[in-house]
A and B are shown apart, each in its own frame.
Chain A
């Protein structure tokens, strides 16, 4: 199976992983955007874009702050989205990832994983 994986595509890329992104950025510049008109892909791209906007107020550039935002596989799919759309819940302010990181670092002494 590893051999099959190695030949997943003619161009040698198997995902928009770091090497693929760096390759594209080298060719077309840093500010590349990806899109699709296929329903499945469009829905996922919309989710990625919406999550970034809704939860950090900006984009994945602040991804460090996004690490903690894992879904809970044992709750309903779309839990966060459904909840946040609910009008009878609180309107909550955007969490500042940098502030949380600073607080956590202060408490924990900055555990390194390396």
Chain B
């Protein structure tokens, strides 16, 4: 049960809470390159990734550990999250990864902080030694699986153009066998059938908790519609999988937003874009997905050798993105779904003409998806009125002033 008294606090759009500026996590690029050539990858749309060191340098690693310690002390943090990312982060190598994690866990012990470590991988390089490292350092794994063979192998190919599903699924099973916490993320192929993907995840891989992400896109390259796909996915989750205890994160995020709560999602829902990214040369940049806007778009003059982590909060692009994430475009502010949608992913709002002052490039799709979801859920909600339960539809429509 949730209390409606509380939910409306979140619906003030346009105000940046001061604490939105305090960094509580870092996205660390352990590798700028990848061993796969996925058709939709956002990362390589900005060719400047090739201009940085292929792997996180040792000097940058050590400088980051120092800056992290300083940051934790300065702000008295009790938790901090680190996401190891790439490219493909496992290209970093086991020895370096082990060493880096040891340093981070030492910071955790010395500073009495909980460091949450996670890593997102295509899984191809995972073996028992990697799995042992993840377990030893308590690193939560996420593997990218887009669906069954016909879906996954069509887009997630190696550098020779071969599908990678079997290696990825082998990695998934190995991690499970070795009791490593592993989750699964897919990217939506709007031409595919979400039922096929859900059945594969739930029935074949026995996954109880996954997400199907919205493809990265912006107004400079309008994507295919995703509305039909996600309406169908919502229907499947609502009627078939949720009763089995299966969680599909984006469907939960949509529902949270429609219930007036924070979606806690980058893709959908009103909230600040606050990601800080560490590149392999020690550079600090805003949200990495923003590089879909073009060459060197996310480049700053900041780095962990000369600047503390919080310095990124004063970077002009970081500030622009943070402001834009909380000050929605005029069309969004007038939209009935402005809170549940939040303008979508901040990178999906980009156009060279208006920069981030746009609705999402998926705006029309989102309206259809939210319409569908609200129609499904509204008749299944009740409110406690003090005199017992009342269907929400009745409560909203009874004697409504015109």
Contacts and interface: CB of A to CB of B under 8 A. Distances in A.
Nearest to A66: B262
B122 to A, nearest CB: 12
Given A32-B384, A75-B140, A78-B249, A67 B260 contact: no
A73 B264 CA distance: 9
A34 B210 CA distance: 26
Contacts of A31: 3, 5
Interface stretch (B61-69, B77-85, B95-103, B297-305): B77-85
B9 A60 contact: yes
Interface in A73-114: 73-80, 82-83, 86, 88-90, 92-95, 97, 99-105, 107-108, 110-114
Given A35-B1, A74-B83, A24 B255 contact: no
Contacts of A60: 2-3, 6-7, 9-10, 261-262
B70 to A, nearest CB: 13
B319 A29 contact: no
B265 A2 contact: no
Nearest to A71: B264
A36 B213 CA distance: 27
Given A8-B371, A44-B252, A68-B22, A92 B79 contact: yes
A68 B260 contact: no
B5 A70 contact: no
Contact of B8 (A4, A21, A70): A21
Given A34-B2, A100-B19, A47 B256 contact: yes
- Closest 6 A/B residue pairs (Cβ): A76-B183, A60-B6, A40-B242, A113-B16, A77-B249, A90-B114
A94 B377 CA distance: 33
A101 B18 contact: yes
Contacts of B368: 1, 4-5
A31 B21 CA distance: 32
Interface in B165-182: 181-182
Given A74-B85, A101-B19, A108-B314, A48 B261 contact: yes
Contacts of A5: 336-337, 367-368, 370-371
Contact of B371 (A4, A78, A100, A113): A4
B20 interface: yes
A21 B392 CA distance: 11
Size category, B interface: 35 or more
A72 to B, nearest CB: 6
> Which among B2, B337, B397 has the greatest number of chain A C-beta atoms within 10 A?
B2
> Which among A15, A16, A69, A72 has the greatest number of chain B C-beta atoms within 10 A?
A16
Nearest to B248: A77
B313 interface: yes
B114 A79 contact: no
B381 interface: yes
Interface in B235-278: 237-238, 242-243, 245, 247-249, 251-252, 255-262, 264-267, 271-272, 274
B13 to A, nearest CB: 9
Given A4-B371, A71-B264, A92-B79, A41 B7 contact: no
A114 B383 CA distance: 33
B260 A15 contact: yes
B184 interface: yes
Contacts of B338: 17
A73 B77 CA distance: 23
Given A16-B7, A30-B5, A105 B18 contact: yes
Nearest to A93: B78
B259 A34 contact: yes
B226 to A, nearest CB: 13
A71 B249 contact: yes
B159 interface: no
> Which among B79, B271, B310, B322 has the greatest number of chain A C-beta atoms within 10 A?
B79
B20 A72 contact: no
Given A59-B6, A72-B81, A78-B209, A1 B19 contact: no
Contacts of B19: 64-65, 67-68, 97, 100-101, 104
Given A1-B368, A49-B1, 14 more contacts: A10-B397, A15-B259, A15-B339, A21-B7, A28-B385, A31-B3, A32-B383, A36-B382, A52-B2, A68-B272, A74-B213, A90-B113, A100-B19, A114-B327
A41 B337 CA distance: 18
Contacts of B132: none
